[in-house]
Chains A and B, each alone.
Chain A
């Protein structure tokens, strides 16, 4: 009973983690760039819904497209104004470049919005819960889980069934070969950043329904996203989905075991130790991740 409950809650959080990580893996797959500013896109997605809710009284769920659009624009702006130029430099420049972008966005948000914690208090689902038999679900988390799943499915469909999506996949498998086939890598890169920004912006919009926004919030989630991307295999869409679920479930279920065997030692304070331990073990045993193909 407790385990079933933890499993369900874990799946909901896991779906959201997967959506947060999706953009990171798409960008990495296509460009071999680790976007350190990914968490800050999430943070700005959260703020966009928060402000839309506060100033225009738009329900946080209805404001969701706003966060996705903000994310897409951020992704595109980052690529065209910044990343594109970094590509000319060595790989290390790209690494530190996105790191710089992360710091810039954090402190810019601090400057614009101050360090205050902001939480949405009015909304269709905010603070409501759903009882199904013995289980109680927080509506906001339920919605976040379901909408994450839908968003994931849409991106998956786009990547696997559309021409552009296939071109994107081709680029991520072999950039040179793709460009010989007439695929414009520059455009593919931009699309990857748009998808990356859009999905994580939307994840932020979902998250702000039950989590507080503040300028440094990104780092908490991007750590998990890094673990998910590495667990699933760098660049693997399917991998990041299952890795997200795995992290969500591990995080919920571990403390329940502690409770069941009556040990306070195996309490919630070690839950992320377990998550990162799993990540560590998989990286050692299977460096390419669960579903990865890149070396």
Chain B
């Protein structure tokens, strides 16, 4: 009897080993990173693009990409982890903070991910990172720009992208540059011509913090905000918002809008023949491929802050190479959002390689010490290096201007920083006839 018990026991053990072993072996070869993006709902389009960019980058690292001149493209997996492949597990948070937190928890507990990335919407990043912090799992944020995110004293949160305060300062530097004659192709504009500003920002975490920051910088740089409003990005109608802006007769109109509301806002303003001299959008909707595709020549002269413009490929070779791969596969150029998704996955790869382990503590240490050189990035940044708060201090923003091309389409030209300008600035904003 005892022998039979022992035989049954050993059989069970053997069988369980058989079942468990593939997982045990593959764990060595695969590093799971949970990626949270809005893949359905109002932000599904951008979520899809972000997912594509992240997947492409993981493919470059895992399968090598001969045409891309950075060390990472020759790795074929994470070198210090025996060529282990990065496996991205995508989850759709639909732009809902609660859902993001639930998904993060399930990624950590059920999928046993090594780390997290995402979540695009600042409000979702906030809840997701809180979960990561609680479980002591590292999270690298690639594209949420609410400044508060790195002000919470978190130990498990790092952000590669510059945040909105960097970008809003860029805007005011550009305005100041205009009054000082530093902008390519424009003579100095008297300050009084640009004195009055008005903004309309969508009213979630991101838009409200942009609004706050614009107010602050306006004071610092000596401009006046004559009208500032927050609105619901999912509104069925933005006529009253547009009316309020037009009624304030500002020299500059500033926006923080996602895609759908930016389309509606511009169409509505056009319908009112709104006039202003300077028309700027804080990224998101304004810099998406669909924005230019849908509105075409209507946005001639519109400015958008961004972190990546395809013209960058003229000055940065690696950006051009990755962009070519992306375009070949998906038909669009990389944008500021998608290029930052590339850098997010890239940062993960460098961090894992430096940590040479999937232990959270080792990854935490690697994040705090990482220093990715400028030449390895698709971004026009000085590199990736985090400060004590987890913010990358080497990032910088760009401001682009949509300009009409000969074939009636528009292309985005760099107008700020002044030393990178690729075209003459169109001033004042031509408006709509």
List residues of chain A with CB under 8 Å of any chain B CB.
2, 5-6, 9, 13, 110, 114-119, 121, 127, 129, 131, 136-141, 210-212, 214, 216, 220-221, 224, 251-252, 254-256, 259, 264, 267-269, 271-272
* In-complex Cβ contact of A256 among B229, B240, B259, B296 (8 A): B240
Chain B CB count within 10 A is highest, among A116, A117, A224, for A117
Chain A CB count within 10 A is highest, among B239, B244, B267, for B239
> Would you call B294 an interface residue if the criterion is a C-beta within 8 Å of the partner chain's C-beta atoms?
yes
Interface string of B285-306 (1 = CB under 8 A from A): 0000010001110100000000
What are 11 A-B interface contacts by the 8 Å CB criterion? A6-B243, A13-B239, A117-B259, A117-B290, A127-B267, A127-B271, A136-B273, A212-B260, A256-B243, A267-B229, A272-B232
B:216-249 near A, CB below 8 Å: 227-232, 234-241, 243-244, 247
Q: Interface residues of B: mostly helix, strand, loop or mixed?
A: helix
For B259, list chain A residues within 8 Å (CB): 117
B228 to A264, Cβ gap below 8 A?
A: yes
> Would you call B393 an interface residue if the criterion is a C-beta within 8 Å of the partner chain's C-beta atoms?
no
A267 to B296, Cβ gap below 8 A?
A: no
- Chain A residue at smallest Cβ distance from B432: A127
> Would you call B130 an interface residue if the criterion is a C-beta within 8 Å of the partner chain's C-beta atoms?
no
Known: A269-B229, A269-B232. 7 other contacts (CB 8 A): A115-B41, A116-B290, A117-B260, A119-B263, A121-B294, A136-B273, A256-B240
For B263, list chain A residues within 8 Å (CB): 117, 119, 212
- Chain B residue at smallest Cβ distance from A253: B240
Binds A, one of B42-50, B181-189, B317-325, B398-406: B42-50
For B231, list chain A residues within 8 Å (CB): 267-269
A129 to B229, Cβ gap below 8 A?
A: no
For A138, list chain B residues within 8 Å (CB): 268, 271-272
* In-complex Cβ contact of A210 among B230, B240, B267, B298 (8 A): B267
For B84, list chain A residues within 8 Å (CB): none
CA distance A119 to B237 in the complex (A): 15
* In-complex Cβ contact of B264 among A13, A212, A224 (8 A): A212
> Would you call B270 an interface residue if the criterion is a C-beta within 8 Å of the partner chain's C-beta atoms?
yes
A2 to B241, Cβ gap below 8 A?
A: no
For A255, list chain B residues within 8 Å (CB): 240-241, 243-244
10 nearest A-B residue pairs (beta carbon)? A138-B271, A115-B44, A255-B240, A268-B241, A267-B229, A220-B236, A269-B230, A268-B240, A119-B294, A129-B271
- Chain A residue at smallest Cβ distance from B201: A269
B:24-76 near A, CB below 8 Å: 40-42, 44-45, 48
CA distance A114 to B45 in the complex (A): 8
CA distance A252 to B239 in the complex (A): 7
For B244, list chain A residues within 8 Å (CB): 255-256, 259, 267-268
> Would you call B203 an interface residue if the criterion is a C-beta within 8 Å of the partner chain's C-beta atoms?
yes
For A118, list chain B residues within 8 Å (CB): 294
For A269, list chain B residues within 8 Å (CB): 203, 229-232
For B228, list chain A residues within 8 Å (CB): 264
For A254, list chain B residues within 8 Å (CB): 240
Q: What is the distance, in angstroms, from B227's C-beta to the closest C-beta of chain A?
A: 8
B45 to A117, Cβ gap below 8 A?
A: yes
For A271, list chain B residues within 8 Å (CB): 240
B:144-195 near A, CB below 8 Å: none
B240 to A141, Cβ gap below 8 A?
A: no
For A121, list chain B residues within 8 Å (CB): 294-296
For B235, list chain A residues within 8 Å (CB): 220, 272
CA distance A267 to B203 in the complex (A): 12
For A116, list chain B residues within 8 Å (CB): 45, 290
For A131, list chain B residues within 8 Å (CB): 273
For B432, list chain A residues within 8 Å (CB): 127
B271 to A141, Cβ gap below 8 A?
A: yes
Known: A117-B290, A119-B263, A136-B271. A221 touches B236 (CB 8 A): yes
For B243, list chain A residues within 8 Å (CB): 2, 5-6, 9, 252, 255-256
